């Protein structure tokens, strides 16, 4: 069984952000001394990194589910949670990452290209970690000085991606099945490919490293091509992609074939036709040389056979008239392999310099604008404060039964919903404040929404549905339903502020006089009531029926 895998589907998930803390600082004589809940830690991200020591995607076939670490929850005393660890996944050079298209549970196929990891150290964040929720200390402001809630951490990004390996080799050996490509790789390098006397022996590309004096380069044996390979016949497109990153294309032609209607010239033209058809379907990376413009080399193989030697000598002038370099070799006797190795080494060095210069010119022609570095949390809060009506969309949708609802979609509303703890009324009110500030409530009214209508924010697994109540408030409420404070205003500290604040002398004198005047007024009212007979003087015992009274006792008090 082959251990070479060049296309896999991987399910990646970024770590979830930790929840913020809603802690309250408590001191002696100050049971509510202010919020001190810390922020939750950010979740880790899943990152693919191109590494030269990776040569296959086999690990991802056996372990296709990869997840990064989650952040921890914030703590009291404004202690932030720890960040989740990033998951670094090494992939071979030449790995291209695509979105996965296909039905759930079914086979996936490559969709939109996301990244092309061609050089050592190239990185791509496939699944970003969720941001940690803000604690109530970070949510406190001038009007909301003691939030009784914190924001929840955001879930990490989760999706399927397709990894496709396009071998990065200096020389690609192409040819019909059983033309001797694998034998040539084994003869020129230390590779040990499978070799047999039947067609399509090579089911996976074979890579080998060639050392020729000061030259060092890699060669790739692309599995046998047949007419129609560019349309998927035979192994077709499964392995044609492995020549996309090669610098030199070497045609290995079997001069000892006994198949009718085949000769070196027709084989060469048939293969070139397939390469031209495939080249039209490619979108080459920056600085890459188009397949038709890459150098060609003709390798006439199996010249150890007398008839093959005669045929090679006969067709050599015709290939040379096409401007092609021709080498007659034999993997059995090693004839011509030394000259071929040195010639390919010289061509590789020249082409590497040409490609490097072309990439440098392309990079200089590009205009790259990098934003100023800014902490992620500060940037997030700034973006939220600058929210506009263009950050979301509202659609009125109807079901089959005639029911209807309004769907709100947008980065900010959907993120705010994921951060809200719906078990906390104050947190729900804070969400309403944010949506109102963003203009969602006004936009809903313009769309024809009325209080009590069904509103959905977001789509998919994280969508939230509720009945619209535009009067919901974030502040505490009295038992009878009358609102005690404005939206977003928590009065737990407001009640204790009067006791905690030190009064001025003028306030003390005013409060003292008010208290004395109140006592005098109460005494006067009591005297008037006594004169009117509304109540008796407790010092006078005039109740004869009271056995404990003066009239119910004898002279001795018994």
Is residue 149 over pLDDT 70? yes
Residue 525 domain flag: no
- What is the side-by-side strand order in the sheet with 464-467? 393-398, 404-409, 454-457, 464-467
Q: For 430-446, what is the mean pLDDT?
A: 85
Residues 56 and 22 in one domain: yes
Please tell me the distance from the alpha carbon of residue 276 to that of residue 289, in angstroms, as a whole number. 14
Residues 305 and 448 in one domain: no
Q: Where are the alpha helices (DSSP H) in 303-336?
A: 306-321
Identify the CA nearest to 419 among candidates 75, 134, 153, 22.
Answer: 153
State pTM to two decimals. 0.65
200 is an annotated ligand-binding site residue: yes
Is residue 108 over pLDDT 90? no
Is residue 287 over pLDDT 50? yes
The whole-number pLDDT of residue 194 equals 52
Is residue 46 over pLDDT 90? yes
Residue 549 domain flag: no
Top mean pLDDT of 22-26, 188-192, 381-385 is at 22-26
- Neighbouring-strand partners of residue 255: none
User: pLDDT, tens digit, for every residue of 491-538?
Assistant: 444 544 444 456 788 888 898 899 999 999 988 888 888 788 776 555
Could you tell me how far CA 56 lies from the centroid of its own chain?
24
Residues 157 and 285 in one domain: no
H or E element at residue 90: strand 87-91
User: pLDDT, tens digit, for every residue of 296-324?
Assistant: 888 888 888 888 888 888 888 888 888 88
Q: Of 165, 186, 219, which residue sits at a domain end?
A: 165
Residues 238 and 149 in one domain: no
408 is an annotated ligand-binding site residue: no
Q: Which residue has the tokens 């040819």?
A: 175
Q: Which residue has the tokens 């074979």?
A: 206
What percentage of the chain exceeds 70 in pLDDT?
73
202 is an annotated ligand-binding site residue: yes
Domain containing 180: what range? Answer: 169-365
141 is an annotated ligand-binding site residue: no
CATH number at residue 445: 3.30.300.350
**Mean pLDDT computed over every residue of the chain:** 77
464 is an annotated ligand-binding site residue: no
Residues 38 and 71 in one domain: yes
Q: What does the chain come to in residues?
A: 558
User: Do 191 and 205 touch, CB atoms closer than 8 A?
Assistant: no
Of the pLDDT bands very low, low, confident and very high (cuts 50, 70, 90), residue 489 is very low
179 is an annotated ligand-binding site residue: yes
The whole-number pLDDT of residue 341 equals 86
224 is an annotated ligand-binding site residue: yes
162 is an annotated ligand-binding site residue: no
The whole-number pLDDT of residue 478 equals 34
The whole-number pLDDT of residue 127 equals 93
The whole-number pLDDT of residue 175 equals 80
User: Do 255 and 329 touch, CB atoms closer than 8 A?
Assistant: no
176 is an annotated ligand-binding site residue: yes
User: Do 81 and 132 touch, CB atoms closer than 8 A?
Assistant: yes
The whole-number pLDDT of residue 71 equals 94
Please tell me the distance from the alpha carbon of residue 521 to that of residue 514, in angstroms, as a whole number. 11
The whole-number pLDDT of residue 486 equals 42
Q: For 286-298, what is the mean pLDDT?
A: 73
Is residue 198 over pLDDT 50? no
Of the pLDDT bands very low, low, confident and very high (cuts 50, 70, 90), residue 454 is confident
The residue among 452 and 367 whose pLDDT is bigger is 452
Residue 544 domain flag: no
Residue 541 domain flag: no
3-class secondary structure, 142: coil
Q: Where are the alpha helices (DSSP H) in 8-91?
A: 58-62
CATH number at residue 116: 2.70.210.12
Residue 540 domain flag: no
The residue among 89 and 271 whose pLDDT is bigger is 89
Q: How many domains does the chain have?
A: 3
Residue 82 domain flag: yes
The whole-number pLDDT of residue 183 equals 81
Residues 217 and 124 in one domain: no
Of the pLDDT bands very low, low, confident and very high (cuts 50, 70, 90), residue 152 is very high
User: Do 118 and 94 touch, CB atoms closer than 8 A?
Assistant: yes
The whole-number pLDDT of residue 460 equals 77
Supply the angle between the helices 337-365 and 181-188 in degrees, to the nearest 10.
Answer: 90
Residues 294 and 404 in one domain: no
Q: Of 332, 348, 365, which residue sits at a domain end?
A: 365
Residues 24 and 154 in one domain: yes
Q: Which residue has the tokens 């039964």?
A: 401
Please tell me the distance from the alpha carbon of residue 211 to that of residue 28, in angstroms, as a whole number. 79
How many CB atoms within 10 Å of residue 209? 14
42 is an annotated ligand-binding site residue: no
Residues 194 and 323 in one domain: yes
177 is an annotated ligand-binding site residue: yes
Residues 351 and 490 in one domain: no
167 is an annotated ligand-binding site residue: no
Of the pLDDT bands very low, low, confident and very high (cuts 50, 70, 90), residue 398 is confident
Q: For 129-135, what is the mean pLDDT?
A: 92
Residues 352 and 470 in one domain: no
User: Do 162 and 95 touch, CB atoms closer than 8 A?
Assistant: no
Using a 10 angstrom Cβ sphere, with 0-12 exposed, 13-18 middle and 19 or more buried, the burial of residue 272 is middle
498 is an annotated ligand-binding site residue: no
The whole-number pLDDT of residue 133 equals 92
Of the pLDDT bands very low, low, confident and very high (cuts 50, 70, 90), residue 487 is very low
Top mean pLDDT of 169-173, 224-228, 472-476 is at 169-173
Supply the angle between the helices 306-321 and 264-279 in degrees, to the nearest 10.
Answer: 50
- Neighbouring-strand partners of residue 206: 221
Residue 175 domain flag: yes
Residues 428 and 304 in one domain: no
Q: For 364-381, what is the mean pLDDT?
A: 55
- What is the side-by-side strand order in the sheet with 65-67? 65-67, 7-13, 158-165, 95-101, 109-117
94 is an annotated ligand-binding site residue: no
The residue among 431 and 209 whose pLDDT is bigger is 431
User: pLDDT, tens digit, for every residue of 214-270?
Assistant: 888 878 777 656 554 444 444 444 556 666 667 788 888 888 877 777 788 888 888
Is residue 467 over pLDDT 80? yes
């Amino acid at each position: 069984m082959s251990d070479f895998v060049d296309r896999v589907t991987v399910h990646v998930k970024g770590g979830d952000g930790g929840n913020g803390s809603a802690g309250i600082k408590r001191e002696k004589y100050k049971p509510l001394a202010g919020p001190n809940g810390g922020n939750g830690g950010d979740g880790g991200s899943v990152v693919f990194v191109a590494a030269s020591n990776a040569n296959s995607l086999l690990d991802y076939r056996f372990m296709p589910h990869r997840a990064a670490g989650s952040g921890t929850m914030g703590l009291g005393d404004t202690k932030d949670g720890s960040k989740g660890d990033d998951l670094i996944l090494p992939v071979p050079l030449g790995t291209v990452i695509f979105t996965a298209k296909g039905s759930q549970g079914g086979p996936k196929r490559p969709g939109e290209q996301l990244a092309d990891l061609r050089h050592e150290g190239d990185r791509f964040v496939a699944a970003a970690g969720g941001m940690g929720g803000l604690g109530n200390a970070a949510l406190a402001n001038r009007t909301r000085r003691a939030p009784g809630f914190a924001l929840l951490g955001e879930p990490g990004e989760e999706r399927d991606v397709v990894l496709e390996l396009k071998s990065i080799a200096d020389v690609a050996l192409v040819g019909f099945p059983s033309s001797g490509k694998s034998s040539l790789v084994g003869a020129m390098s230390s590779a040990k490919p499978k070799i047999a006397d039947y067609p399509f022996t090579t089911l996976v590309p074979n890579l080998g490293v060639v050392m020729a004096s000061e030259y060092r380069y890699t060669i790739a044996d692309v599995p046998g091509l047949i007419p129609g390979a560019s349309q998927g016949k035979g192994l077709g497109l499964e392995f044609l992609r492995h020549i996309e990153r090669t610098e030199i294309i070497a045609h290995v032609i079997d001069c000892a074939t006994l198949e009718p209607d085949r000769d070196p010239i027709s084989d060469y033209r048939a293969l070139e036709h397939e390469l031209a058809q495939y080249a039209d379907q490619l979108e080459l990376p920056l600085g890459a040389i188009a397949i038709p413009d890459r150098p060609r080399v003709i390798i006439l193989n199996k010249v150890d056979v007398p008839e093959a030697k005669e045929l090679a000598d006969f067709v050599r002038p015709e290939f040379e008239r096409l401007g092609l370099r021709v080498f007659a070799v034999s993997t059995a006797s090693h004839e011509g392999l030394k000259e071929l190795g040195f010639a390919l080494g010289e061509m590789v060095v020249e082409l590497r310099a040409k490609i490097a210069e072309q990439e440098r010119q392309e990079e200089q022609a590009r205009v790259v604008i990098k934003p100023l570095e800014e902490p992620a949390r500060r940037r997030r809060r700034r973006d939220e404060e600058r929210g506009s009506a263009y950050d979301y969309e509202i659609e009125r949708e109807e079901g089959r039964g005639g029911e209807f609802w309004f769907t709100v979609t947008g980065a900010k509303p959907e993120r705010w919903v994921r951060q809200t703890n719906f078990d906390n009324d104050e947190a729900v009110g804070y969400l309403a404040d944010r949506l109102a500030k963003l203009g969602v409530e006004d936009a809903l009214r313009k769309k024809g929404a009325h209080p009590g209508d069904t509103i959905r924010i977001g789509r998919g697994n994280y969508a939230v549905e509720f009945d619209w109540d535009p009067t919901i408030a974030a502040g505490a409420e009295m038992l009878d339903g009358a609102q005690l404070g404005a939206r977003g205003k928590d009065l737990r500290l407001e009640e204790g502020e009067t006791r905690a604040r030190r009064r001025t002398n003028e306030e003390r004198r005013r409060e003292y006089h008010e208290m004395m005047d109140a006592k005098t007024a109460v005494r006067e009212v009591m005297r008037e009531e006594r004169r009117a007979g509304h109540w008796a003087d407790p010092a006078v015992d005039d109740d004869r029926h009271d056995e404990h009274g003066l009239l119910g006792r004898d002279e001795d008090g018994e």
